[in-house]
Copies of this chain bind each other. A is one copy, B any other.
Amino acid sequence: MSDLLFKRVALIGLGLEGSSLAWVMKRDGLAGHIAGSARTRATLDKAMELGFVDSVHENVADAVAGADLVMLCTPVSTFADIAARIAPALKAGAIVSDVGSVKLAVIRDVGPLLPTGVHFVPGHPVAGTEHSGPESGFAELFEHRYCILTPPPGTDADAVERVAELWRRAGSRVEFMDAHHHDRVLAITSHLPHLIAYTIVGTAADLESQLRREAASNGDVVETSEVIKYSAGGFRDFTRIAGSDPVMWRDVFLNNRDAVLEMLGRFVEDLTALQRAIRWGEGETLEDLFRRTREVRRGVVEMGQAGRFIATEAEDGEDPDV
């Protein structure tokens, strides 16, 4: 078992991230024993049935007893409560880490609750899908994706390295970053895109309802949703993002408020400028921006972060539209 990184791992939360990480550890023999804990009995049973954990525990304190690594994989609003409950049960020298999408709030909520001698290594694998639950995990989720670690100054270097090694084994590229910087960068690359996608899908659904009510009051037949029918025009890409886990994302926005509001302010300024350009017919302003953003897209493609697909059916280009 030369691949063994941790004798005993406790996974708190067995959704997409937790189950995917478990599959990585199972595949490569990185953990001697994986103990899982989750909020519902159904999730615990499903995890045992799927076989990505070795034991399941309703009580988080039972799950972490004797663990060398405790990984928090629940929505970040639950972290403070979980930290308080596991603190007395953590063994000396244990490492506590997490996969939360915000980092300053996690350090604020979890750090002070952990006993001396326990190492806290906050982390964020920048990878995921719009699916959730214990069935949604797969070992390849993290491959070629970045995992950002934000250990506070003074964190035990050996503990940091062991967590980094786990993510490298998962196929991720590990980066280190200050938590404040992380929260700002992710606010623009992840949190704001999600907020905007949620908003426009809601706006479209409301418009649809309104149009249907109007049509019905005119006695017209109201058939299938037009918003959904014509979603290949660009909208469907937003619906995919807006299908992401509601609780996890609620927590992201509530726990990265300042950075999200800052990015939102910048975005609305830029949108207002474009609105004005459209109103006054300033085609050059529009075209200049669109040429510039095309270059950004080229950068994403060149860096291998674009996603490369083969359509399983020829009709499904991966693409937005005309």
Contacts and interface: CB of A to CB of B under 8 A. Distances in A.
A44 interface: no
Interface in A251-289: 251, 253-254, 257, 260-261, 263-264, 266-268, 270-271, 274-275, 278-279, 281, 283, 286-287, 289
A239 B253 CA distance: 22
Given A127-B322, A228-B296, A310-B309, A249 B204 contact: no
Number of copies of this chain that the complex holds: 2
Give the interface SS of chain A, mostly helix, strand, loop or mixed.
helix
B321 A128 contact: yes
Contacts of A238: 193, 237
Contact of A229 (B146, B233, B297, B321): B146
A316 interface: yes
A146 B291 contact: no
Contacts of A257: 278-279, 281
A167 to B, nearest CB: 13
A93 interface: no
A33 to B, nearest CB: 26
B319 A235 contact: no
Interface string A285-322: 01101111110111110010111111111111111111
A138 B310 CA distance: 14
B308 A316 contact: yes
Contacts of A4: none
Interface of A: 16-17, 77, 99, 101, 124-131, 138, 140-146, 148, 171, 175, 185-186, 188-207, 224-244, 246-251, 253-254, 257, 260-261, 263-264, 266-268, 270-271, 274-275, 278-279, 281, 283, 286-287, 289-294, 296-300, 303, 305-322
